[in-house]
Amino acid sequence: MICCLERGISTNIFFMTGKVVVITGASSGIGRALAIEFHRKGALLALGARRLDQLEILKMELGSTGILCVRTDVSIELECKNLIDKTITEFGRIDILINNAGISMRALFNNLDLEVIHRVMDVNFYGTVYCTKFALPHLLASRGSLVGIISIAGYIGLPCRSAYSASKFAIRGFLDTIRIEHLHNGLHVLVAAPGFTSSEIRRVALIEDGSLQGETPRDESSMMSSQRCAGLIVNAVKKRKRTLILTFIEGKFSVFLGKFFPSLLDQLTYNHMSKEPDSPLKQQLNI
């Protein structure tokens, strides 16, 4: 028990019993890990993702009781509405919305097809806007939790990730505003910013022409696991925290530097990102 408390994970296993949790992007990575963690704590789940087959596999692994799977492309407004409508039809309420669905990209802005920016913003930012819009009346009724999974890229401009950083900054500003608008309505808003986390987001990231990157340029084994990340996010929901910044050096320390030593952070960020294999920053300098 002491170990669990030191690691910041709740020992009350069933504190989510009966709560209805909607999770987008639930077919892999952090979203899938969140589904497993919330289910373990007794929640009812409405899972959305484009890959319905992967959601159904997860449902079978967890057991079919109390799990709704809905094919959802969050870049399409009507599909987001459908996810929320089906959740209400199935469970009658929504207590927690986790806006997790997202895509990344990797290219210098100078070389980037503008369609890539549209695609990233449509999924990351507008997907959050759409799901929040349709779920908000139900969250207000339950005095529930609205959660956005952003990234350290929502605090720090990451080179070669211009569209990704822009979308994450936008989500943070959007959710901060929603929090203030409903400051006296009992709505809880959490903005969670993982650092580099092991998932498939880099494998399916878009490159300059909009095609998939295919291989991750980073050492995934050295990153925080999706399971560990999910556990910390669920615990932050339980405590109704407003922000959660994960990892120390890439997360908390970088945000600190950005506030007090922004020029130093710019240089450190450039140096760090230029060390990636085949970094576009190196190509720019013909290194």
pLDDT in tens, 223-258: 788 899 999 999 999 999 999 999 878 889 999 999
pLDDT digits (tens, 9 = 90+) for 23-81: 999 999 999 999 999 999 999 999 999 999 999 999 999 987 899 999 999 999 999 99
What pLDDT is stored for residue 216 in this prediction?
62
Q: In the prediction, which pLDDT does 198 show?
A: 63
Q: What is the pLDDT of residue 175?
A: 98
Instruction: Identify the CATH number of the domain defined by range 2-260.
Output: 3.40.50.720
The mean pLDDT value for 142-166 works out to 96
Over residues 83-104, the mean pLDDT reads: 97
pLDDT surpasses 70 at 165: yes
Domain locations in the chain? 2-260
For 107-121, what is each residue's pLDDT tens digit? 999 999 999 999 999
Q: Is residue 151 within 8 Å of 250, Cβ to Cβ?
A: no
The predicted structure's pLDDT at residue 8: 41
State the DSSP H helix or E strand holding residue 45, giving kind and residue range, or none if neither: strand 44-49
The pLDDT assigned to 221 comes to 66
pLDDT band at 10 (very low <50, low <70, confident <90, very high): very low
Tokens of residue 265, six digits: 């952070």
pLDDT tier, 9 (very low <50, low <70, confident <90, very high otherwise) = very low
Give the DSSP letter of residue 18.
Answer: T
Q: Which of 6-10, 87-91, 271-275 has the lowest mean pLDDT?
A: 6-10
198-219: pLDDT as tens digits: 666 656 789 988 888 766 655 6
Model pLDDT for residues 171-201, shown as the tens digit of each residue:
999 999 999 999 999 999 999 999 877 666 6
Provide the pLDDT for residue 217: 59
How is residue 182 written in tokens?
């409903």
Burial pattern 242-277, b for ≥16 Cβ within 10 A else e, equals ebbbbbeebbeebbebbeeeeeebeebbeeebbebe
Q: Which two tokens stand for residue 125?
A: 């930012």
**pTM for the complete prediction?**
0.89
Q: Which residues are catalytic?
A: 164
Backbone angles phi, psi at 76, to 5 degrees: -110, 115
Q: What was the pLDDT predicted at 63?
A: 85
